[in-house]
Amino acid sequence: MSDFDGAAMSRFVSTFADRLHERREELTQLDSAVGDADHGINMDRGFSAARAKLAELGEADLGTMAKTVGMTLISTVGGASGPLYGTFFLRLSTSLGERDAASTGELGAALRAALDGVQQRGKAIADDKTMVDALLPAVEAFDAASGDGIGPALAAAAQAAAAGRERITPLVARKGRASYLGERAMGHPDPGATSTTILFESLRDAVAAD
């Protein structure tokens, strides 16, 4: 398919919620090494609530769907990840607006707006060892491959997110709780970069499943 529509948005949120639930212990394990052992619980709780709210919402435009997810995350998830993932979906919402379907270019612009929002909110830049290090390369890779269509662009984005997560594992963290650990964070994967990788894999697979 060439467009990203409401059915794709539902499949995306639902697939992401399923995978976060399956992998909640792994994510919490990662956060127990560098933080406070709640990332898996936070993400599982937030996205299962968001999926339920989307089901209640029924048919709606893409902006309303993304806004519902963002508001639910902000109200159900504490810590750093609730406001950051909440901002991600609220910015997607503003960018997608009242469209029932987005072209590859429109989805790329929305993902770019979401990245900008996360960076404005959390003030993290590249190499601070956060979710931004998966999100930023994913958005760049999507843009670079968008001429090939939505499927290849999302495949490239998912691959870039995973590579970004791997790339920062040896680094010291400069934002979030992991920054308190100094050199002891070196060698531990970042929990948020891991969940962002799962997000892009879910988006890729939700679109490919159409």
| Contact between 175 and ligand ADP per CB under 6 A | yes
| Contact between 42 and ligand ADP per CB under 6 A | yes
| Contact between 177 and ligand ADP per CB under 6 A | yes
3-state secondary structure of 129: coil
Q: How many residues does the chain have?
A: 210
Cβ–Cβ contacts within 10 Å for residue 25, how many? 11
Among the listed residues 9, 13, 65, 80, the single contact to ligand ADP using CB under 6 A? 80
Question: Distance (Å, rounded) from C-alpha 88 to C-alpha 112?
Answer: 10
Total binding residues for ligand ADP by CB under 6 A? 23
Tell me the DSSP string of 48-71. HHHHHHHHHH-S--HHHHHHHHHH
Question: Distance (Å, rounded) from C-alpha 208 to C-alpha 202?
Answer: 10
| 8 A C-beta contact, residue 116 and residue 84 | no
* Closest listed residue to residue 185, CA positions, set 25, 82, 9, 31: 31
| Contact between 35 and Mg ion per CB under 5 A | yes
Closer CB to ligand ADP, residue 101 or residue 199?
A: 199
3-state secondary structure of 150: helix
Q: Which of residues 134-163 bind Mg ion (CB under 5 A)?
A: none
As measured in angstroms, the least distance from the Cβ of 121 to ligand ADP is 7
Closer CB to ligand ADP, residue 44 or residue 143?
A: 44
Among the listed residues 13, 38, 136, 200, the single contact to ligand ADP using CB under 6 A? 38
Binding site residues, Mg ion, CB under 5 A? 31, 35-36, 38-39
- Binding residues (CB under 6 A) for ligand ADP: these are 31, 35-36, 38-39, 42, 79-81, 84, 122-124, 130-132, 175-177, 190-193
